[in-house]
Structure 1
Amino acid sequence: MSNFRKWALALTLPAGALMLAFYVYPILQVLALSFTEPEPGLGNYAEMATNPAIRRVLWTTIEVTVPTTLLTVAGAYAVALALVQMPPRRRGLALFLVLVPFWISVLVRAFAWITILRRRGVVNSGLESLGLIEEPLSLIYNQLGVVVGMVHYMMPFAILLLYANLSDIDRSVIRAARSLGARRMAVFWRVWLPLSVPGLMIAALFVTIFSFGFLVTPALLGAGRVLMIAEYISVQITSTLNWGVATALSVTLLTAVGLLIFAATRHPALRSALEGGRK
């Protein structure tokens, strides 16, 4: 082994030790608790399969995650496509506006949506003043409010991911399509969109995984009526002290995310995008 490799290995040892101490060991503890609390066996996992409350929570998580992913990726793609078409100076301002939400606490954003969507909030008051509705709409403390808050939180991440992908598309391919007589919509559907598939897949994967573990936004905008898996785990640990079920759910969620990432990276388009990002 060369001196360079020895030094490289030595430099990675502290980081590896920290990873083992603060990440791997706690996960192993969670895994052990899921099989031993309150008694050894597979009882916690059996309860996950038979408990109707847990099945309802899992189904609610899927019902919220799917529209959140679709709306976030669609909206982020439109913004990212507009960004790559802008002049450099205007693009810099637009990217700044995209980054602004990163500096605002998730709590502040959630409470802002409560102010906007509540029965006497900005939206309902505006619609009533215009005569479009007679009674306030139920826009919050339900799945709609949770999806709105989660989409707003996820948009900057998805925009940046898709912007990086669209920026790498070779413009000569677009010019070649135009020179051959293709119209703008044909260029979009036959050139832009197919070349954007890796970025769309990465953004969708990121939003889906992040949505599985969402806690603060669903807890505030759902007000306990939209109980997702992360909040359910929190309740089991902090309120009911049901550590066995909570850790079993945590292990199941971690396994599902790991399998999802593994399956996604087996796709050639997504793998090529990830490899391209390392070059």
Structure 2
Amino acid sequence: AVAFALVHMRPAARRVALFMVMVPFWVSVLVRAFAWITILRRNGVLNSALVGSGALAEPLELVYNQFGVIVGMVHYMMPFAILLLYANLSEIDPRIIQAARSLGARPVTIFTRVWLPLSLPGLAIASLFIVIFSLGFLVTPAILGAGRVLMVAEYISVQISSTLRWGVATALSTMLLLVVGVLVAVAAGSPALRAAFEGGRR
């Protein structure tokens, strides 16, 4: 939705929106993780506002669990997905949209029959990048999950630094490397995904 809105913004508004999307790239992942703790903890900003307004009787457990990890990971990944989708949507020929409108297509039909099919390569490549990055997540789950939510990379770190099970860590690392290699090979071998990088118009 954000990438779709960026395509339809005026140039001045688009520059401001793109700046806001890229701001997280300039903030340390540690700072972002601790900022979410400040917002989501039991006596944090969000719970204090909800309890103070009477919406909740007791604060919610929003951090140091799976929910907190998901929030942190989504916040980290969103700029990547938005920029990849924006690059793909920007390459769609506007004359195709104009032709659909001139033929009487409604906005919903234009979105489902024109925008969505043409954006599938961008959606695929954004999903692939997010999966690959998620496999290597370590800092965000460690802080926001407090050791209760283990991702693959964090589990490998525990095997090396705590339990000293080097064989398990080596096996998991090798498996992770192979999975990432397969995903990259799938992307490199798919004409649709290559088109998303090359900016080819479909």
Give the Cα separation in 2 of the matches to 1:121 and 1:151: 20
1:139 is matched with 62
For the aligned residue pairs, the C-alpha RMSD in angstroms reads 1.3
Whose Rg is larger?
1
Tell me the CA shift for residue 275 of structure 1. Answer: 4.1
Structure 2 residue 31 is the aligned partner of structure 1 residue 108: yes
Give the Cα separation in 2 of the matches to 1:182 and 1:276: 26
Tell me the CA shift for residue 170 of structure 1. Answer: 0.3
1:155 is matched with 78
1:179-204, Cα deviation, whole Å (9 max, x unpaired):
11111111111110110000000000
Question: Which has the bigger relative contact order, CA under 8 A and spacing at least 6?
Answer: 1
Equivalent residues in 2 for 1:12-51, closer than 5 Å? none
Equivalent residues in 2 for 1:1-279, closer than 5 Å? 78-276=1-199
- TM-score (norm. length: structure 2): 0.95
Indicate the SS of the match to 2:64. Answer: coil
- The residue identity in structure 2 corresponding to 1:250 is S
Tell me the CA shift for residue 242 of structure 1. Answer: 1.9
Indicate the SS of the match to 2:164. Answer: coil
Tell me the CA shift for residue 271 of structure 1. Answer: 3.3
Taking only the aligned residue pairs, the percentage that are identical comes to 72
Give the Cα separation in 2 of the matches to 1:138 and 1:264: 39
Size of the aligned set, in residue pairs, is 200
Give the Cα separation in 1 of the matches to 2:30 and 2:198: 36
Give the Cα separation in 2 of the matches to 1:129 and 1:212: 39
Tell me the CA shift for residue 252 of structure 1. Answer: 0.2
Indicate the SS of the match to 1:181. Answer: coil
Unaligned runs of 5+ residues in structure 1 are: 1-77
1:11-36, Cα deviation, whole Å (9 max, x unpaired):
xxxxxxxxxxxxxxxxxxxxxxxxxx
Tell me the CA shift for residue 85 of structure 1. Answer: 0.5
Which piece of structure 1 moves more, 263-272 or 210-219?
Answer: 263-272
Tell me the CA shift for residue 160 of structure 1. Answer: 0.8
- The residue identity in structure 2 corresponding to 1:240 is T
